[in-house]
Amino acid sequence: MFSNLINNQTFHGKDFMEITVVSYGPGLRHLIATESRVAERVASLLAQGITCGAMLDAMGLGPEAALDGVQVVPNGLP
């Protein structure tokens, strides 16, 4: 997923698309600071202007549990 996001952004250009990744379920663990094995990849997405959001309330976690820069969102719908 990480590579596909960057490839799409590179092909279409940052100025022509806005990408937001919202994680929930099993994928949510990638955005939790104490559990993520891909924190560097997430930081790279954030540095490229890709927004990352996490639906932490389902796990009973607050915003402090997310990796730096990850927004906590109530759901995955815009």
55-76 confidence digits (pLDDT tens): 888 788 889 999 999 998 887 6
- Overall pTM > 0.85: no
Distances (CA, A) of 33 to 8, 16, 18, 23: 26, 31, 24, 14
Categorise residue 72: left if φ over 0, alpha if ψ from -120 to 50, beta otherwise: beta
pLDDT at 13 over 90: no
The mean pLDDT of the chain is: 88
